[in-house]
Amino acid sequence: MDAKHVRTMSATNFFDGEHFEKSTLTMKRRVDAHVNALPANFAVQASQKTRLISRMNAAPRVKLSKIFALVDEYAELRKPFVACAEECDSCCHMNVQITNVEAERIEKSTGKKAKFLRADTCHPVTKFAGVPCPFLVNRRCSIYEDRPLLCRSHASFDVDSYWCAPERMNAAELPMISITDAQVAVSEIAHESAARRFADIRDFFG
């Protein structure tokens, strides 16, 4: 897990230049504060653990659970610096790319059969802007303990969810943090399975 690797949050509609500049500065400060607050060598140790898990002689579902546990540990450290809160469901209305291994985990926990996909699917980022996740119930995630990596890793370092709203979520590039090692590990785990597939959660369960 590379907790120090900064990426941008895509947030071209309803663009407010003044608000964008203010949010960019705020998010840069909060990202820096978060990184500086991480325990010593946290990113290096997390990366090492991630690689070890990826190379384990274990079932894909076991390795996936261990990766998720590491990401959740990081997410707890991130909480004081992000706008994300239990009552916010904006990110549940955007593209959510998952692997077949993650789909199998969701299928097992919900009893809802995942569709068999004959090929990978990669949609434009605007494809599902404003479209709720099939597992969003009463504005809450009904598969929270089994949610995909993308849902666990995504967070806004702003002070509110302004840029996360569906009408703005693809309108700007804003500072975020990537957990690249975890993303690579989950991709490698998926490649170990016979039915490897990458698609949006709605492709599997829509």
Q: Which residues contact 197 (CB under 8 A, 6 or more apart)?
A: 99, 100, 103, 117, 119, 120, 190
Exposed, middle or buried by CB within 10 Å (0-12, 13-18, 19+), for 185? Answer: buried
pLDDT tens track of the chain, all 206 residues?
A: 454 444 455 544 556 789 999 999 999 999 999 999 999 999 999 999 999 999 999 999 999 999 999 999 999 999 999 999 988 999 999 999 999 999 999 999 999 999 999 999 999 999 999 999 999 999 999 999 999 999 999 999 999 999 999 989 988 889 999 999 999 999 999 999 878 999 999 999 98
Report the C-alpha gap between 159 and 167 in whole angstroms.
18
Whether this model's pTM surpasses 0.85: yes
96: its two tokens: 């959510």
Q: Which domain holds residue 76?
A: 5-205
Alpha helices in 79-123 (DSSP H): 100-110
How many domains does the chain divide into? 1
Give the phi and the psi of residue 168 in degrees, each rounded to 5. -125, -10
Q: How far apart are CA 202 and CA 135, in angstroms?
A: 9
